[in-house]
Structure 1
Amino acid sequence: MATFATRGLLRLALASALIIPLAACEGLSRREQRALSGGAIGAAGGAAVGALTGGSAVTGALIGGAGGAAVGALTGGGRR
């Protein structure tokens, strides 16, 4: 059983893992930002559909992420 300090450390690690990568998005162009967000949304949607239909959530996430990134990149015209 995890102690209070261990759970706090795990929460801090999880929060850091979710927040720190956002700093890398600062210098992206509009197209790159849309591809990244499209990939994330597609991966989440694909994983949900895969899990709900009895298929593989991982396969759904991979297919959805690739599709979302492609659509985001294709529709993200302009520099900023």
Structure 2
Amino acid sequence: MKTTKLLPLIALVFLVGCDHMTHTEQNVLGGAALGAIGGAAIGAAVGHHGAGVGALIGAGVGAVGGYIYDQSVYDDYDYYY
């Protein structure tokens, strides 16, 4: 019962949290979040150091990947966002 009330609140916080961010900040944060999820899954499956270390490594790699993606996509435009 408590989780059914908590999940929409968490979703709302994540959606509103990206409201006043630039495209670069959104892409870096999205990359870090996806990297952390993937890293945690791989870390839990491999099991040497656990899901926490995998999430930290994945978040770092995802943030760098999100920044590289942002620069490659928005470098071609002459105007600012």
Q: Which TM-score tier does this pair reach, normalised by the shorter chain?
A: 0.7 to 0.9
Query: SS of the residue aligned with 2:37?
Result: helix
Larger Rg: 1
Question: Shift of residue 22 of structure 1?
Answer: 1.5
1:38 corresponds to which residue? 31
Contact 1:31/1:75, CA 8 A, preserved across alignment: no
The correspondence for 1:26, drawn from 19, 26, 39, is 19
Runs of 4+ residues deviating >2 angstroms: 77-80
Identity %: 36
The correspondence for 1:69, drawn from 63, 67, 76, is 63
Q: Give distance in 2, aligned partners of 1:32 and 1:58.
A: 24
Letter in 2 for 1:63: I
Aligned length: 73
Superposition RMSD on alpha carbons, in Å? 1.5
**Residue 36 (structure 2) pairs with residue 47 (structure 1):** no
Q: Which runs of 5+ in 1 are unaligned?
A: 1-6
